[in-house]
Chain A
Amino acid sequence: NAGVTQTPKFQVLKTGQSMTLQCAQDMNHNSMYWYRQDPGMGLRLIYYSASEGTTDKGEVPNGYNVSRLNKREFSLRLESAAPSQTSVYFCASSEEGDLWEKLFFGSGTQLSVL
């Protein structure tokens, strides 16, 4: 059981370049999330998707776009990367109802923007 799989694990971009972070889960969860983690700060929610076909902004959505391609996949796109987007990115998923707060995370993507 793979859980939540995200790719790539590492990426270096130049300012202005674009890229897409991929995420897939095999737990049949409806809800999926993208977080970023910076030193000295808690994980911050970028975007989330409560179900297939819906997406909503989180705390720090500027500079990002997302696509909920189907129930399994939720991608995060940086259209024009900036040094401020250097961070570790985590995808997560969760069940509905009382268990929604139990998040299952992918192993993370370390992104550096030069």
Chain B
Amino acid sequence: RKEVEQDPGPFNVPEGATVAFNCTYSNSASQSFFWYRQDCRKEPKLLMSVYSSGNEDGRFTAQLNRASQYISLLIRDSKLSDSATYLCVVSTYLDTGRRALTFGSGTRLQVQP
């Protein structure tokens, strides 16, 4: 089982739609959670952190469910410019005391006119 799992998609949605992605993680000791966005053939960029209480940034809402070990990203009123791959990232403390980031393979979103 992968440490961080995402549905690869693609999710094809019309402009203005609401779309949600989930990501599951296997390590219950994971500490912090993030969503990164990656445009086609570009570098990943941090979209938002995910907090236990949930957090919102404009049209984007991120939620964390520690009991079920998943995080979600909700995008409201989708824009063409939201078309990208969304990477789920989990931070975990290892036995060595070092922290490590584990990236999911991403969910591709295609917003259509």
Stretch binding the partner chain, chosen from A14-22, A70-78, A97-105: A97-105
Is A45 close to B, CB under 8 A? yes
State A90–B43 Cα separation when bound (angstroms): 7
CB-CB under 8 A from A106, the residues of chain B are 43
Chain B contact residues: helix, strand, loop or mixed:
strand
Interface positions, chain A 30-56, Cβ under 8 Å from B, are 35, 40-45, 56
Give the interface of B toward A (CB within 8 A).
Answer: 4, 8, 32, 34, 41-46, 49, 87, 89, 91, 98-106
Query: A50's closest neighbor in chain B, by CB?
Result: B98
Given A100-B99, A101-B34, does the pair A43, B44 have CB atoms closer than 8 Å?
yes
Is A86 close to B, CB under 8 A? no
CB-CB under 8 A from A59, the residues of chain B are 100
Q: Among the listed A40, A102, A108, which residue makes an inter-chain contact with B43, where contact means beta carbons less than 8 Å apart?
A: A108
A53 vs chain B, min Cβ distance (A): 17
Chain A's interface size range is 10 to 19
Given A101-B32, A101-B34, A101-B91, does the pair A42, B43 have CB atoms closer than 8 Å?
no
A3 vs chain B, min Cβ distance (A): 10
Given A101-B32, A103-B46, 15 more contacts at CB 8 Å? Answer: A35-B103, A40-B105, A42-B4, A42-B87, A42-B105, A42-B106, A43-B44, A45-B100, A59-B100, A100-B99, A101-B89, A102-B46, A105-B44, A105-B45, A108-B43
CB-CB under 8 A from A103, the residues of chain B are 44, 46, 101
Query: B102's closest neighbor in chain A, by CB?
Result: A42
Chain A contact residues: helix, strand, loop or mixed:
loop
B46 vs chain A, min Cβ distance (A): 5
Contact A43 B103 (CB under 8 A): yes
Contact B102 A40 (CB under 8 A): no
Is A107 close to B, CB under 8 A? yes
CB-CB under 8 A from A35, the residues of chain B are 103
State A101–B105 Cα separation when bound (angstroms): 18
Given A40-B8, A42-B87, A100-B99, does the pair A105, B43 have CB atoms closer than 8 Å?
yes
